[in-house]
Amino acid sequence: MKRIFLLSLVLSFMFPAFSQTWTTVSIDSFVSVKVPFIKNVKKDKHFDLVTKTSFGTILIFKTADDVKVTPDIERDKHLNKYYKKYIEIVSKSSPKGKILDTKDALIGKLKVKDFTLETDTGTGVLYRNFRILHANNNTYTFEFLYKDVHKEYAVPERDQFFKSITVNDELEKKDQYTSAEINDGNKSNSYKIWYIGGGVAVLLVLLFFVFKPNK
């Protein structure tokens, strides 16, 4: 019994994720998610959040639709095309990366797109797990990053993160389509919305994540 107690004590120091506190963060009045406790969250027209778990990194970005760049999304096929183009842009941003596990999922009544970008950084394999949601005239990007060496413990954290994403029950399928202003003013837009807001922040965080050794 004493040996079991000592082993449990050692594990509690080795893997603090077991006792890590996760708290609910409201991105806006429509979407919320649970993340490890953080003190400061940037909330404005564009929502940015970056925080570390014990074995990974969480990034969340909310970008409002813009008539100058957001494509026309009036039907389900347009939404599917929007998500497909998003994945293509992510893939092109990392020529040596591979897109894996692309699939549709639902949060409440809303369709989201899940996929993974696998990249060999030269010092190991890095996984970037994405969940993309377009709703209420915004694009919500949820990312969970982890190194392959931490996979055994990072995957449960990743699953906990994605399962915690919730949407307001009032949101309907039609709320995933763009507004009349967008639809009337941007028939030629070429899917640039994900470059607005957290693009530079993502790059800096990735560099920090890849090259900073875990303590």
| Residue-wise pLDDT tens digits, 157-198 | 999 999 999 999 999 999 999 876 665 655 555 444 444 334
pTM value?
Answer: 0.79
User: Of 41, 16, 26, 54, which Cα lies nearest the Cα of 167?
Assistant: 26
Average pLDDT on 59-72 reads 88
| Residue-wise pLDDT tens digits, 106-148 | 999 999 999 999 999 888 999 999 999 999 999 999 999 999 9
pLDDT of residue 123: 86
CB 8 within 8 A of CB 19: no
Per cent of the chain over pLDDT 90 is 54
Q: Which residue has the higher pLDDT, 70 or 110?
A: 110
| Residue-wise pLDDT tens digits, 20-61 | 789 999 999 999 999 987 655 555 456 788 898 999 999 999
CATH topology of domain 39-211: Protein Transport Mog1p; Chain A (3.40.1000)
Q: In this structure, what are the phi and psi dihedrals at residue 205, rounded to the nearest 5 degrees?
A: -65, -40
